Amino acid sequence: MSVLDRFKLDGKVALVTAGAGPLFGSSITEALAEAGATVITASRSLERNEAYAAELRSKGFDAHGMQVDIGDAASIEGLRAAVKERFGRLDVLVNSALSRPKGMSVVEEVTLESLEVNARADMVGLILMCKAFCPDMAERGRGSVINIASIYGLVGNDPNLYLETDMKPPIVYPFLKGGMINMTRSLAAHYGKRGVRVNSISPGGYSPDAPEPFAGRYSQRCPLGRMMTNEDIQGAVVFLASDASQYVTGANLAVDGGWTAI
């Protein structure tokens, strides 16, 4: 098999949580589909997922929309059963769903309610998704899990970026993403000998609607001189999903324009 052939995902079934959403999800789903995978996008809105799957099918891709609430254990088990019944297996799991409740901001503004919502979706839900799908992958001796983390799981917020804007540096988000990266390492060690690879991607600053003071300061500090676009994450996801990365597990790939290098 040639090097380029190892990037192909023909015959693989891939699931992307929040895979029809504007925050990377739709780009990730389309990239996996373009690489040849049968893709499933799932979130709370079945209508949105089915509509996006239909859009991808109109382009010639094999895409399907399903429903899941990652804050609900029964919903996750229902998704697992539906995937297994319809496709027989899952080869690639991309955990990209993220809950952003009110109060997810500076520490002085955090509420107990916002903490509980975050913990249920972004911590408990993440772990339950892995619990639901990883054992089946391990039983088959093959699979790839990709967790979408953040540069704020690696470094702290730079408060200077937020000056002269209504934006505020979050405190809960770095906590969750840092935990996701270390959980990725632990799962990689746990499942490695059973053929399941677990990696994470830490995207850099991404906000199409970011006010100019923020976007300008970010771009000036970033070695590549700009904020991230949807397309920037696609190659990294395909690489980690494919056999091109067959000896890569427990890694966190920073796709950040060099932000964490300085």
State yes or no: is 173 an active-site residue.
yes
CA contacts within 13 A on the Cβ side of 118: 22
- Residue 121 in contact with residue 114, Cβ under 8 Å? no
- In eight-state DSSP terms, residue 18 is T
Sign of the alpha-carbon torsion through 54, 150, 157, 229: negative
What is the DSSP code (8-state) at residue 214?
Answer: H
Active-site residue, selected from the candidate residues 173, 191, 206, 218: 173
Q: Where are the alpha helices (DSSP H) in the chain?
A: 25-34, 46-58, 73-87, 112-118, 125-140, 172-191, 212-221, 234-241
Backbone angles phi, psi at 154, to 5 degrees: -110, -35
Longest CA–CA separation in the chain, Å: 55
Catalytic residue ranges: 173
